[in-house]
Amino acid sequence: MALKDVLIDELRDMYSAENQLVKALPKLAKGAKDQTLKTLFTDHLEETKGQVERLKQVFEIFGEKPTGEHCNGMEGVIEEGADALEKDEEGPSFDLGIVGGALRTEHYEIAGYTASIAMAKTLNLNEVVALLTENLKEEEAAAQKITAAAQPLLKAAAAQPEEAKAPKTAKEKYSAEKSREDEKKAAPDLKKHTTSTARKAA
């Protein structure tokens, strides 16, 4: 596969990711209790719509259509954010769960754009590089703003009294079971790691 084709695949993934976020960001804005977070998500929704437009411009340069790949990664990351919205937490603790979800989406996009820009630079596609860099800068700024908005929430959450744990929902039980499976599957490789680390230390 030529590098240009890998880049186009990557960008179709990003196009799907951005479109998924256009649907997901209003839910985060609605769910967040903190006004700063609400405003941030609403503002970033507008930026995201602009990013979809820039990606369309990139595909025009290629003479290709932007659809063709569904981004499973972003679907998963958004799913994690949706879990945070269902959590039975109060005020700042609830919002901090959303912050974790939102930061994951931003960093997923930062990774996607960083990789795509590197490919476009190698192919000397200056116009494409410029458009993708604009998107990347917005994602980086959004991640920084979310991190800053989390600071007062962290302070407030630290002052929150501990609450009695609610019983686990069916979804949470399923997730807990899967996490034990993850641990079990990794165990043989971790054992090898522990043995080799012990050997190095000896």
Minimum distance from CB of 146 to Fe ion (Å)? 13
Q: Which amino acid is at 3?
A: L
Residues whose CB falls within 8 Å of the CB of residue 7, separated by 6 or more in sequence, listed in order: 116, 119, 120, 123
Residue 25 or 96: which CB sits closer to Fe ion? 25
Minimum distance from CB of 201 to Fe ion (Å)? 44
Residue 89 or 105: which CB sits closer to Fe ion? 105
Whole-angstrom distance, CA of residue 68 vs CA of residue 10? 11
Whole-angstrom distance, CA of residue 123 vs CA of residue 61? 13
Structure tokens at 21: 């976020």
Residue 69 or 172: which CB sits closer to Fe ion? 69
Minimum distance from CB of 150 to Fe ion (Å)? 19
Residue 18 or 89: which CB sits closer to Fe ion? 18
Minimum distance from CB of 52 to Fe ion (Å)? 8
Q: Which amino acid is at 106?
A: E
Binding site for Fe ion (CB under 5 A): 48, 51, 109
